[in-house]
Chains A and B, each alone.
Chain A
Amino acid sequence: AQTVTQSQPEMSVQEAETVTLSCTYDTSESDYYLFWYKQPPSRQMILVIRQEAYKQQNATENRFSVNFQKAAKSFSLKISDSQLGDAAMYFCAYRSLISNFGNEKLTFGTGTRLTIIP
């Protein structure tokens, strides 16, 4: 079974600075997807960024980028120019297939609470 580990329960960063959230995972599969979801105080789960395991190029979405190290099974999220609206819980998630119908099963880490200091 796949596992996802986020070893930083809490992080804080000064507004406009850069912060990196860590995520490691364990799997025996060779192809899979990885995701970062953001959960603000509203509790809505919002997709931040996603990465295909077979792609060597790191995904980027505006101020958000990942450092994907497949051999090390590491998938960190970098937030540049941090803004007050970035304050939230961030969850790393692994996607595997659970049936022949091509369903997604998301395995989540325990989350990192990010605080932005004005």
Chain B
Amino acid sequence: NAGVTQTPKFQVLKTGQSMTLQCAQDMNHNSMYWYRQDPGMGLRLIYYSASEGTTDKGEVPNGYNVSRLNKREFSLRLESAAPSQTSVYFCASSRRSSGSLTGGWETQYFGPGTRLLVL
């Protein structure tokens, strides 16, 4: 199993350009997530997807769109990149829990990250 994979590993964009970050998982997980990591701020949730066909906003969704193409793939799109979007982006996935907090571990597994620089 490759786990969670992300492409590209590194990208440089000019302000106003668009791009899509790709994420795929081969663990048959229902839930997928996009986080961004900025210096001194930890990871923050951008969007998540509970299952194929559903997406919801996280803590910092402005300037991003997502698509849950199928169970395996969850993409993050920047329509008009801004320097404030310079960051490291992580995709993660997890199994859907039973709905009970005591139903078992639903650990999130992370991809290797995409480093994005917007000039």
Contacts and interface: CB of A to CB of B under 8 A. Distances in A.
A62 interface: no
A105 interface: yes
B53 interface: no
B99 A47 contact: no
B contact patch SS: loop
Interface in A33-50: 33, 35, 37, 42-47, 50
Contact of A54 (B44, B102, B113, B115): B102
Contact of A101 (B45, B51, B105): B51
B98 A102 contact: yes
A52 interface: yes
Among A35, A50, A103, the one with the most B-chain Cβ atoms within 10 Å of its Cβ is A103
Interface residues of B, number: 35
B101 interface: yes
Nearest to B102: A54
Contact of A103 (B48, B98, B101, B112): B48
A97 interface: yes
7 contacts: A52-B102, A91-B43, A102-B96, A104-B108, A105-B58, A106-B43, A111-B42
Contacts of B99: 100-102
Contacts of A97: 101
Contacts of B33: 106
Given A99-B56, A102-B96, A50 B48 contact: no
Contacts of B34: none
B105 A31 contact: no
